[in-house]
Amino acid sequence: MDRKNFFLGMACIVGAFALFFLTKPTQPPASATPPAQQVVKAAVAAPKATVALAASGVGGSPVAKAVARHFFIENDFVKVTLSSRGGAVEKIELKKEQANVGKPELVTFNAGNEEAALVLAVKPTTAGALDPIYSEFTAQNATAASITLVGALADGTRLERNYSFTAPKAGESAEAYSLRFSTRVIPPAGKPAVSVWVSTGCWQPTTGDSANQFLSVLAYDGEDLTRVGLDKFTDSSGFFGLGAHKAAVEHSVVSAGKSLAWVASGNQFFAAILHPDAAVRGTRAEVVVLPVAFEGGKRGLHAFTSWETPPAADLSRTLEGDFFVGPKEYARLSALPDSQVSVLQFSKLLGFISFGAICKLLLAILGGVHWLLEWSGVWSWGWAVVLLTCLIKLITWPLTAVQQKAAKKMQKFAKPMQDIREKYKDNPEKLQKELMKLYTENKINPFAGCLPILIQMPIFFGLYTAFQTTVELRLHSFLWIHDLSAPDTIFFIGGFPVNLLPILMGLSMWQSMRMTPNPSADSSQKTIFLMMTLLFPVICYPMPAALTLYMTIQNLLTILQTWLTKDEDVAVIIPSPTKKAKG
């Protein structure tokens, strides 16, 4: 391969890796995660960019949050706390999800948010502000798994709110993290029912998502996914002035003619998805996204959403559907209708190259492998990553063999190739012709060695993208790794984390490259390979341990393959020098 093209290709690969990783938020070690109790403290006064909704009295006499009564419904997975203040969901505790390693506290949805989830609001005029409903609701027909809360507006409109856990359909299992909700708005006789808005609630930011890449509100209309992040509510000077903007107070998303299938709020590992039934969505929906302030300067996002629910014969309106609040597990979300799996938010290379399809495939395979290994106990997810790596290596083994065979051939005619370059260095056209002749006679494709890299790069990028939000790996240990979704920090030196896997990955990569036949004796190429063995561990140092575990096992398997095939020989035709004509 021409040296200039080699350098250009290597520069593109290194540049792509640098742009993809160095612009991403880092994943700090779990030991750096603040105590779980910090996650459930109440919010402090909102900053300037936060909209605080104030009840005007349209919803009736507001009830103070401190004196509101609480009601509870639960199943084996979630415990829902409802409030008589507006008949809304104050918080939801996820019984199967710990907030931190070795801590008894649970992950809690809407913790620290002054606004309840599924709280109702009305908008008196088209251009008016949202007016939340904080009036008193009373409980009826309460059981351990369902409850009806009844309240009223100042004009006499009756509000009936029902909450229950989804009943399983025939031959199907119910989604344990889905809460079935229904709000019926019954107006006074002869008057049309007002349209109500409903809140999504919000999540606390995660320490692993320091750039708030996954903290967002999402809206899906059946075709397009709209994302609103905290950047909308943060002052920005842009890139050399391009894209500069002031922090917004609120951000609206309107879907006319094609109503929204669902609206969600989420963070790196968890999501709350408001999914109304298709029959009640109407033809228009609107979302107003608002920032939420938490203690310590942290912020979140929630949204109020309104669907143009068609009126019934008695002029009442009913908004009903499912409210999923739980972990972003691929298998669980992919089973939900209307592409709710899109809340996983697979990131894109350079902002536009999507790895969504390969991410889904890899996660599906990982889930299947884990199902086979559940018997192995607490290390089952770690073994699943190891076995997934072995399966990928098994598939790419023939490609790597082609690469190694091509490298051996290239190495054997390195000297003749160098002689040709010296002989025709002043005649580029003749140089290329003679090199191509050499390649043709030996049946060598000089780019064959690039094929395994081109195949494995999408796999690597796909795993990196997928592992950023793979909640299945969260807080699961393996060997010395305490959390597969975080770096494998074993101790600190002067506040600097010592992560063992990236170091092992670098050493195994160096050994693998050292054993691979080098087609050229060019010291510049050797320097580039050495730089790559140093660069990759640095780039991967703050990444999830699952990814560096994959890379390390992959390198070890490549070393094994090289050792097993080291004695294989390849035939190479070395052309004899052209004889000069006599006379």
- Put simply, whether the predicted model's pTM sits higher than 0.85 gets the answer no
Rg (CA), the chain: 30
Average pLDDT, the chain: 79
Residues 325-345 have pLDDT tens digits of 999 998 899 889 999 999 987
SS3 240: coil
SS3 491: strand
Among 194, 125, 112, 126, smallest CA distance to 154 is for 194
Is the pLDDT at 51 greater than 70? The verdict is no
* DSSP letter string, 551-568: HHHHHHHHHHHHHHTTT-
Please, which residues have CB within 8 angstroms of residue 391's CB and are 6 or more apart in sequence?
A: 365, 369
What share of the chain has pLDDT > 90, as a percent? 27
What share of the chain has pLDDT > 70, as a percent? 74
Quick one: pLDDT band at residue 80, thresholds 50, 70, 90? very high
Please, which residues have CB within 8 angstroms of residue 507's CB and are 6 or more apart in sequence?
A: none
Residues 173-201 have pLDDT tens digits of 678 899 999 999 998 887 888 888 999 99
Is the pLDDT at 509 greater than 70? The verdict is yes
**Cα angle for residues 76, 79, 85 (degrees, 5° grid):** 155
Do the beta carbons of residue 318 and residue 309 sit within 8 Å? Answer: yes
Residues 423-478 have pLDDT tens digits of 777 777 777 787 777 777 766 666 655 656 666 778 888 888 888 888 888 888 89
What domains, with CATH codes, occur in the chain? 3-27+369-564 (no CATH), 50-340 (2.70.98.90)
